[in-house]
Structure 1
Amino acid sequence: MDAEIRTLAARLAAAQVLRRDDPMVRRVLTDELFYQQLSERLAAVGLEFVDHPYAEHVSVRLAREQEQAVFGGEETWLSNNLGLARDQIALLVVLWALLILPKRQRQIERKSSRDSISQSEMFATDKPIPTGAELGIGVNENTLLADFGDRLGGKTRISIGLGVLSRHRLIDRRGGQIVEGPLLDLALDYERMAGRVLDGTLTDLFGTQLADVLPAADV
């Protein structure tokens, strides 16, 4: 088992993100001992396993107790470890709100509907929770520019930002449409961020455009 743990830890560190249906990832999610041993191996180098039951992928991130040593070691606190500029971070948060929050709301609604099926259907084939792509959730680049261009630095800065986020696999760009990339659902802590966003933190910054497209607060 130690060799498998070492291999999976190395794969996560090298690839950053793995699909939930990967055989070794499935084992982490279903084998408590395997999960504990992986967590201990990652913790030894200041990392922790990142998963969300509604996300398609898993990843690793810096452990909370290491944030001060890593991000606060210089004169100013580093905002991220991807080299993102401030306007790119703002763009990331907006896209997370526009892509992940609606997806999560629909996923929760689908799961609640499935959980309320009749007794006679209890043993029916369990369908996977739909992904953002399957739900048709995306953001048109022209719409993004029209709604938030003045707050996010204009067309040139947004275009540069989208390219950077795409290279980091946070988003995918498909024929003028922006959809979530493998890391977007894991980049921000949903439990910590969702309430703040839905309670109006981003609305204060970006006005009613954002509030109009976000789901009702049910997190």
Structure 2
Amino acid sequence: MNNDITSLTARLLAHRWLPRNDAQVRRALVDEAFRHEIEARLAGVGLELLDNPFAEHVAVGLKIDVHEAVFGGRDYQASTMGLTRDEIALLIVIWALIILPKRERQLGRRTREDDGQNDMFGQEKPIVHGEEVSGAVSEASLLADFGTQLGGRTKIRNFALGKLARLGFIERRGGYIVEGPLLDVLLDYRVLADRIINGTLADVLAAAGRALPSQIDLDEDVLDEIDDAELEARR
């Protein structure tokens, strides 16, 4: 057991994220004692395991009680992985266009090709991860819709998207942007979803002709459904 704990801890530190279907990661998700040891070792160096059961990967991040020690006294970009305000805004737009529709499909137990209308037992299915539920955004369309507001098309194409890809938030494939390992792990759905759907960004996306899921409303029933799905994903 100790060898597996050491190996998984080292791999998490070296790679920053690992797929949740990795054998050792899967053990950490279902074996309470094993996970406790992993979390204890990470906590010893100010880190914690980041696990979102709707995401395809797990990751490591700083514990909140060491944020001040790590970022205190440094400039704004130190606490935002080196991203500028325009790049953060671009990241949030991409998150809204990819993760919000993805989560709606996951909660409805649907894939991108399945509207769920003919599935009487859809809610009994396990949560789906990966490309079956996570869509893509056209780079050309993104630049046309938001290039002016987010620093200019050249800056976005040549710099911002490349930085988001290097950090693990997105992947660029043949002119399309798809979800990277960290997009659904580091950005908190519970915090962002309601603010986006009911906030200013919803108007910005609507003006660009980008429809957001209309059925996601973080009332108590949906929060309970997310909690149930999280418990199911840990089994």
TM-score, structure 2 as length reference: 0.79
Asked if the contact 2:56–2:181 (Cα under 8 Å) also holds between the matched residues in 1, the reply is yes
Q: How many residues align structurally?
A: 208
Deviation at 1:42, TM superposition (A): 0.7
Q: Deviations over 1:96-133 (max 9, x none)?
A: 1111111011111117x7x9739xxx7xxx666142x2
Mean Cα displacement is larger for which, 63-72 or 29-38? Answer: 63-72
**Is 1:94 equivalent to 2:93 in the alignment?**
yes
Q: Is the 1:140–1:178 contact (alpha carbons within 8 Å) kept by the matching residues of 2? A: yes
- Secondary structure of the corresponding residue to residue 173 of structure 1: strand
Give 1:26-45 correspondences, 5 Å limit. 26-45=26-45
The aligned residue for residue 117 of structure 1 is 121
Match of 1:191 in 2: 190
For the 8 Å contact 1:20–1:26, the answer to whether it is kept is yes
Report the residue type matching 1:28 in the other structure.
A
Quick one: distance in 2 between partners of 1:211 and 1:31?
Answer: 45
Matches within 5 A, 1:1-219: 1-74=1-74, 76-78=75-77, 80=79, 82-110=81-109, 117=121, 129-131=128-130, 133-135=131-133, 137-159=135-157, 160-203=159-202, 206=204, 208-209=206-207, 212-216=210-214, 217-219=216-218
Runs of 4+ in structure 1 displaced over 3 angstroms? 76-81, 209-212
Deviation, 1:78, is: 4.0
In the TM superposition, what is the alpha-carbon distance from 1:153 to its structure 2 partner?
Answer: 0.8
C-alpha separation in 1, matches of 2:85 and 2:192: 18
Residue 22 of structure 1, CA deviation:
0.5
In structure 2, the CA distance between the partners of 1:116 and 1:66, relative to structure 1 (3 Å rule), is farther
Q: Distance in 2 between matches of 1:135 and 1:87?
A: 28
Q: Confirm or deny: 8 A CA contact 2:205 2:211 kept in the other structure.
A: no
Indicate conservation of the 8 Å contact 2:134/2:179, yes or no. Answer: no
* Residues 203 and 210 in structure 1, CA contact (< 8 A), matched pair in contact too: no
Gaps of 5+ in 1: none
Paired with 1:73 and 1:101, the residues of 2 have a C-alpha distance of 35
**In 2, distance between residues paired with 1:54 and 1:79?**
28
Q: Which 5+ residue runs of structure 2 have no aligned equivalent?
A: 111-115, 219-235
How far apart are residue 201 of structure 1 and its match? 4.2
Contact 1:72/1:78 (CA < 8 Å) preserved in 2? no
Q: Which moved more, 1:192-201 or 1:84-93?
A: 192-201
Contact 1:172 1:181 in 2 (8 A): yes
Identity %: 49
**Superposed CA RMSD:** 2.4
**What is the Cα deviation at residue 72 of structure 1?**
2.5
TM-score under structure 1 length normalisation: 0.85
